[in-house]
Amino acid sequence: MKLAQYSLKVAKSFPLYHYRRGEPTRFKESIADGTKIHTIRNAGLWSARAHQINKGKAFLQLEQWQGKPYRSSPEAICSLNKVGVQLITPQLVGSIDLDVLAMNDGLSMLDLCRWFKAHSDEDLRKMLIGKVIIHFTSFLYP
């Protein structure tokens, strides 16, 4: 049986709306050295995909855009046969230290806020509700 492949792409550089626009994110290196242990995405699609991956019916191919997102080819970073997924509920986001969340996502707190176009910690918490954290390791937030 051939496994389905799901691709999850990360940015090579900060987006144009970010104050660090064009600078390297270093996500590829951070994933490889284990400092970026998750990513935050919209829930619907990724909750179902994580279920298929964890049932052994698919695998996750982590990739990085070589240039502009959606306008360049991706390059492979690694493949994963297991992922953790956590829906960000009001309770979960209220219990998470945002500095730790940012660090585990390979960003500073300021960079994470600007990535989500949030103007404050409270604004960021509200924006995260309903998204999912896709974990590349066995780590999960309590």
Domain membership flag for residue 35: yes
Looking at the DSSP bridge assignments, the partners of residue 59 are 5
Confidence of residue 13 (pLDDT cuts 50, 70, 90): very high
Report pLDDT digits (tens) over 96-124.
Answer: 999 999 999 999 999 999 999 999 999 99
Average pLDDT, the chain: 95
- The torsion angles phi and psi of 140, rounded to 5 degrees, stand at -135, 150
Rounded CA gap, 113 and 119, in Å?
A: 7
Element (H, E) at 102: helix 98-104
Q: Is the pLDDT of residue 1 over 80?
A: no
The reply to whether 123 falls in a domain is yes
Structural domain count, the chain: 1
Residue 76's pLDDT band, with cuts at 50, 70 and 90, is very high
- The pLDDT tens digits of the residues spanning 14-73 come to 999 999 999 999 999 999 999 999 999 998 888 899 999 999 999 999 999 988 888 889
Assigned domain for 140 exists? no
Tell me if 52 is assigned to some domain. yes
Q: What was the pLDDT predicted at 82?
A: 97
Q: Rounded CA gap, 100 and 105, in Å?
A: 8
Asked, for residue 142, whether it belongs to a domain, the answer is no
Q: Whole-model pTM?
A: 0.92
In a domain, 65, yes or no: yes
The residue segments making up the domain with residue 78 are 4-135
* Residue 15, in any domain of the structure: yes
Residue 75 belongs to what H/E stretch? strand 74-80
Q: Is residue 141 part of a domain?
A: no
Q: In this predicted structure, what is the pLDDT of residue 71?
A: 87
pLDDT at position 47: 85
CATH number, position 115: 2.30.130
